[in-house]
Amino acid sequence: MLGAIVGAGVLAAVGAVNAASGGSAKPIAVSEVVPKSVFDELKFMDQQLTKAIAEAGKGEAVRPRIDNIKKAKFQLIDSQFGDLVDGVKGSTWFRELDCVDVQLRLAQTYETLSNAEHFKQFLEKDIPGFLENAQKCKEKLETALGKANQPEKVSITESDTWAHNASIGKSNICINVKTTPPQAFISAGLAGPGNYTASLPKTPLHSDGTRQVGATITEAGSYTDTLRVYDKSGTQTATTTHTFTVAPPPQDGPDPAFGPSCPAPTK
């Protein structure tokens, strides 16, 4: 059976012994201290709001204050919401949804004011623009989510070789496999001269997405392998087919381009 050459050993869960013999587990310490920069931003926003309230009460322009507060708000969001949500930074979610909200509020406000006849001709024409801006902000978030959640393109690289044992009339074919990015499982099929076939059922790959699979043969000639790899959920992510020629004894195959060497059969 394909794969009998390698990988026949018992796979143990590394670290299980240590976990059982190391006594009670200690919790990982997590800092609960809020960064000083957060309070600095909040204090700055409070100062700007206090000044804006006083200036507005005097009939003065407060637009610069509002701009300062908005800038501080987004700096706070960017610094505190960098973790990914569905592949997109939390700060991006906040920014784009906040943009949608602002544009919708502007559209609502203008619609309300335009009900007054003397404002209608000045304000009503701007409402479609606000709604279009809200739509663009929503589309920016959609685009970011689309880019973050595109299916990974998986590639399979293989290095084929063989090793003879002429004294017993058998040879081993070895196929070193590497997946990028690393995948979780592999299955394989091999076909050769005289209706030769061998197969490997779905088998775990190493954590780095590599494995050597192989089969024992008795005849040189042209062989074709078909490799299929799968992600952690067991979903097939890539397949490849490759044909190579096994030279007759005593000519062993080339050194593998990567991975372990190919052992000759012993029995």
Q: What span, in angstroms and rounded, lies between the C-alpha atoms of 106 and 76? A: 24
Annotate 200-236 with DSSP letters as a single string. Answer: EEEEEPPTTSEEEEEEEES--EEEEEEEEEE-TTS-E
CA torsion through residues 119, 120, 124, 125, sign: negative
Q: Where are the domains of the chain?
A: 35-148, 152-246
Q: What is the pLDDT of residues 55-114, one digit of tens each?
A: 999 999 999 999 999 999 999 999 999 999 999 999 999 999 999 999 999 999 988 888
Q: What is the pLDDT of residues 148-190, one digit of tens each?
A: 888 779 999 999 999 999 999 999 999 999 999 999 999 999 9
Residue showing tokens 């091999």:
190
Question: Are residues 159 and 175 in contact, defined by beta-carbon separation less than 8 angstroms?
Answer: yes
* Fold topology of 152-246: Immunoglobulin-like (2.60.40)
Q: What span, in angstroms and rounded, lies between the C-alpha atoms of 257 and 260? A: 9
Predicted model pTM: 0.52
**pLDDT at residue 104, rounded to an integer:** 96
